[in-house]
Amino acid sequence: MQSFVYNGQSARVIFGSGRLAQLPAEVDRLGLKRVLVLATPPQAEDAENLSALLGARSVGVYSRATMHTPVDVTEDAMRVVSDKNVDGLIAVGGGSTTGLAKAIALRTDLPQIVAPTTYAGSEMTPILGETKDGQKVTQSSPKILPEVVIYDVDLTLTLPVGMSGTSGMNAIAHAVEALYAKERNPVVSLMALEAIRALARSLPLIHDDPADRDARADALYGAWLSGICLGSVGMALHHKLCHTLGGSFDLPHAETHTVVLPHALAYTAPAIPEVIEKLRDVLGHQDPAAALFELAGRIGAPRSLREIGMPEHGVEVATERALANPYWNPQPLERDGIRALIARAYAGEAPAI
User: What letter would DSSP give residue 18?
Assistant: S
Q: How many CB atoms lie within 10 A of CB 84?
A: 15
Q: What is the pLDDT of residue 243?
A: 87
Same domain, 83 and 217: no
**Domain of residue 57, residue span:** 12-156
Same domain, 123 and 206: no
Same domain, 270 and 337: yes
Could you tell me if residue 98 is inside a domain?
A: yes
- Domain boundary at 125, 156, 187, which? 156
Give CA–CA dist 61/346, Å, rounded.
38
Could you tell me if residue 3 is inside a domain?
A: no
Q: What is the pLDDT of residue 135?
A: 79
Question: Which CATH number is 256's domain given?
Answer: 1.20.1090.10
Same domain, 117 and 167: no
Same domain, 188 and 331: yes
Q: What is the pLDDT of residue 287?
A: 98
Q: What is the pLDDT of residue 1?
A: 60
* Enclosing H/E stretch for 132: strand 127-132
Helices (H), 88-138: 95-108
Backbone angles phi, psi at 252, to 5 degrees: -60, 135
User: Domains in the chain: how many in total?
Assistant: 2
Same domain, 331 and 254: yes
Q: Is 281 exposed, middle or buried (0-12, 13-18, 19+ CB in 10 A)?
A: exposed
Question: What's the gap between Cα 6 and its chain centre?
Answer: 21
Instruction: Please give the average pLDDT of every successive group of 10 residues along the chain, which has 353 residues.
Output: 73 94 96 98 92 96 94 97 98 94 98 95 91 83 95 95 96 97 94 98 98 97 95 90 91 95 98 98 98 98 98 95 90 96 98 90
Looking at the DSSP bridge assignments, the partners of residue 16 are 152
Q: What is the pLDDT of residue 274?
A: 97
Question: Which CATH number is 46's domain given?
Answer: 3.40.50.1970
Residues 258 and 345: beta-carbon distance below 8 Å: no
